[in-house]
Amino acid sequence: MGVEIVNNLEEIQQFIESNRSYFGQCKEEASDKPVFMLGFDNTSPKEAFEQVLEGEPYYLAQCLYHLFFGDWVAKNEQFALESFGSLSYDEQGQIINPTMAYFYAYCLNRNDELDKSQSILETLRKRDFAPAYVTNGDLYILNGNSED
């Protein structure tokens, strides 16, 4: 089946525009020390927010991740979770942005919402989203299901 991505780029750009002031504040307070994140450049939180403000939506998931954990910018877990959730799905509840959904699942896992997190990962795996295969494999091993 493969990953079917419905382009919600316009929705993401509208989201960025409607939160421009907030992201500007985040940029000003964010760390300028590079943070290694798989799938992203070795970018600092400050640079990630700058990129988003300059119209590069690729870095939005990274910015929301930083906001969720608050290690490199002021923590805003609720904003991050709500943002990931709204940008991951369409009106029918189908995943339209696998990257946002993957980050959402990761944050839900850290927020002890394991069933919802695993459901997202399973859906992504069934749609051949490669990072979900690795994460599902880790979960199977962690849960003692290494035969699966």
- State pLDDT tens for residues 56-85: 999 999 999 999 999 899 999 999 999 999
> Long-range contacts of range 50-55, CB-CB < 8 Å, 24 or more positions apart?
52/16, 52/23, 53/16, 53/20, 53/23, 53/24, 53/27, 55/13, 55/16
pLDDT of residue 130: 82
pLDDT of residue 143: 56
What's the CA gap between 52 and 125, in Å, rounded? Answer: 28
What's the CA gap between 147 and 141, in Å, rounded? Answer: 8
Confidence of residue 145 (pLDDT cuts 50, 70, 90): low
Confidence of residue 139 (pLDDT cuts 50, 70, 90): low
pTM reported for the whole predicted model: 0.85
- DSSP letter, residue 40: S
pLDDT of 122 higher than 70 = yes
| 16 dihedral zone (left: phi>0; alpha: psi -120 to 50; beta) | alpha
Mean per-residue pLDDT for 17-46?
90
